[in-house]
Amino acid sequence: MELELEGVEVSVGLFKADIVARDTNSNSLVIIENQLEKTNHDHLGKTITYASGLDAEVIIWIAKEFKEEHRKAIDYLNEKASPELRCFAVEMQLFKIGNSLPAPLFKVVASPNEYKGNVVVGSSSLSETKSTYLEFWNSFKDLALAKGTILSIRKPRPQHWFSLAVGRSKFSLTLTASIQKNRIGCEIYMRGSNAKKAFQELVKQKDEIENATGKLDWQKLPDGQDCRIAVYRESISISEKTNWTDASEWLKEKAELFHRVFSPRIKGLPISDDIEEEVSTLEEQG
């Protein structure tokens, strides 16, 4: 995971989550709970409460030392909860070399079985590419708001996608802009254990949907759980600012069309939003 900070002391009902971040690779929301002592039940309950309240998909609990029962609790969540909920237990120690300032050393003591990556907290300084993405999405936002839109426009971030709400958890209306591929796109992205079922239900309505939208690219993504339904415009570079108005107008038009066509269908899909139910059940058991 590569994480970018979204907020600190983020309100969750009467409580506040220490750190909220975003995994820039998967767009998953990440809760980071810090504890400067041995773990306790209070912080275990807080992490689950924060994840449930913010619909997070990743929990990272950092403490000086993990008691065995709390490490096992994290293992239990990874084994029994929905596959889209990933939990990490991380011990932190300080070390010095010579006269250097103390530096943190992180040791992962519990994690999902399939996890083999590294967590890297992103630098506050942006690369030229990320700066271009951020400036472009701000330009798109300004154009959409100036012309009026049915879309709920969020704060842009320095990444190649821009996600919009479509009315249901685990679904997003996502706009993309690839500098490398010289193309822009608009897609419905489905995540989680029910994504394949949702995709098949929408495939049943393919003719009706494409009568309204035109031909779409239906991607089942067989190597993972997720799926997407997309349309792309090729040979347009957002590296050139002269293309921004044209690109933004196309993205706005497609996003509004997708919202009108897909939002009612997604809300009516005969699938369960199981992640919320499973996290709630685990919280009660804890």
List pLDDT tens digits, range 225-277: 889 999 999 999 999 999 999 999 999 999 999 999 999 999 999 987 644 44
Tokens of 201: 């239900």
Give the amino acid at 240.
E
∠ CA 255-260-262, nearest 5°, is 85
DSSP 113: T
pLDDT at 80 over 60: yes
Q: Write down all domains in the chain, each with its CATH number in brackets.
A: 2-124 (3.40.1350.10), 128-267 (3.30.1460)
Q: CA-CA distances (angstroms) from residue 234 to 22, 59, 113, 181, 184?
A: 28, 38, 39, 8, 7
**What is the maximal distance between C-alpha atoms in the chain?**
70
Give which of 177, 174, 231, 230 is closest to 199, Cα–Cα.
230
Say how many C-beta atoms besides its own lie within 10 A of residue 242's C-beta. 7
Q: Which pLDDT band, with edges at 50, 70 and 90, does 27 fall under? A: confident
pTM to 2 decimal places:
0.58
List pLDDT tens digits, range 170-208: 899 999 999 989 999 999 999 878 899 999 999 999 999
List pLDDT tens digits, range 112-168: 876 644 444 444 456 788 889 999 999 999 999 999 999 989 888 888 889 898 988
- pLDDT value, residue 170: 83
Give the amino acid at 22.
R
pLDDT at 10 over 90: no
**Cβ-contact 286, 73 below 8 angstroms:** yes
Could you give the dihedral angle defined by the CA atoms of residues 33, 39, 41 and 46, in that order, rounded to the nearest 10 degrees? 0
Give which of 153, 167, 74 is closest to 112, Cα–Cα.
74
